[in-house]
Structure 1
């Protein structure tokens, strides 16, 4: 649950702040939405970014995923502020990938295979608008792919309830604090990870028909 997650990370936050002589967390954390040469980027909000980051990084063709915040109006938000549900931001992952190996369309499939897009402002035990489902796009082509995916899934029997996933232009992305990055990799025995993140990942592996990297 959100409270458990906040409490479990508060110690990390305090440690980081105590090591920062300026005590500044989340300042100037905007990420330039420009992909390296030959690469592409895409952003997805599908609940806890610890889980989402781990899932996308397991997909063949994905170079890395960064945990952060998008979809809101607050500039340079912090984790604590986003959890007040007043910033408009959702926990989001920015995915860096090789478009010659994996397409945006396939990443959209990863998105729908890895969370429940029918629960408004909730994903598993986490509740609030910061955990809502959002498909971000940067181009008209990506928007059309996302729209078609939502339409196709809505017309199928894949989910028993209506899709509530938002479709939004990616206007800004803010990198989350460092203790959130690759959280599952660094904290495999943390309570939330064992109770929520790992089971969600295992469920994704059973549902996803695409290629995953060795070791996953």
Structure 2
């Protein structure tokens, strides 16, 4: 379970992050060629990390054209990561989501807008109360076109905010599906303490900002 009020020292956060980033295996992930995921029954997949995957999953599932968002782990060098291992900050992975969408209804460009528009883009090593390298923001590209979209939007946002944007840009390699109890967690546990204090307010903030992107079922 998430611990909303647990205290993690700044020194520890940066130590974990640095361990991940200076690891040669992690650097190999960053420098690798991207893996492009083929369409399945006309549906595409995109990958994003932006703090707690419970929050990010709920946000993307509210967007028109998105069939499903799956919680998991990506961006690291450790095989078969688990929630417990990821939380040590030493696997290189971040909590991420796999977004399954209809490209005829919603574009990758729009999904990137959702990504940057549903987080604090300047927060380093986490989102809100969730801090550590496992909660860092990463946006994954599968080809040069996606990379160009990401970098242009990141640069424009940096100029708009006159600030450095924290999100890292990685070539997509592999997505590891998280444990079953993490899937649709916010939807299944609306009264859980963390969900009420963090996840639902973050979702509602997104809905208020992008009402035109919402499914009818998500507008109420």
TM-score of the superposed pair, with normalisation by structure 1: 0.83
Structure 1 unaligned spans of 5+: 7-31
Aligned positions, number: 189
Alignment-derived partner of residue 127 in structure 2: 123
Asked if 1:43 is matched to 2:47, the reply is: yes
Alignment-derived partner of residue 187 in structure 1: 189
SS at match of 1:168: strand
* Preserved CA contact (<8 Å) 2:4 2:130: no
- For the residues of structure 2 that align with 1:2 and 1:64, how far apart are their CA atoms? 22
How far is the alpha carbon of 1:210 from its aligned partner? 3.5
Alignment-derived partner of residue 33 in structure 2: none
How far is the alpha carbon of 1:174 from its aligned partner? 0.2
SS at match of 1:198: helix
Structure 2 unaligned spans of 5+: 7-35
How far is the alpha carbon of 1:148 from its aligned partner? 0.7
SS at match of 1:118: coil
CA RMSD of aligned residues (A): 1.9
Structure 1 or 2: more helix by fraction: 2
TM-score of the superposed pair, with normalisation by structure 2: 0.82
- For the residues of structure 2 that align with 1:186 and 1:148, how far apart are their CA atoms? 37
- For the residues of structure 1 that align with 2:98 and 2:5, how far apart are their CA atoms? 21
Extract structure 1 runs of 4+ deviating beyond 4 A.
Answer: none
How far is the alpha carbon of 1:208 from its aligned partner? 2.0
Asked if 1:212 is matched to 2:220, the reply is: no
- For the residues of structure 1 that align with 2:212 and 2:152, how far apart are their CA atoms? 19
Alignment-derived partner of residue 151 in structure 1: 155
Deviates more, 1:195-204 or 1:160-169: 160-169
1:1-216 paired onto structure 2 within 5 Å: 3-4=3-4, 33-156=37-160, 159=161, 161-208=163-210, 210-216=212-218
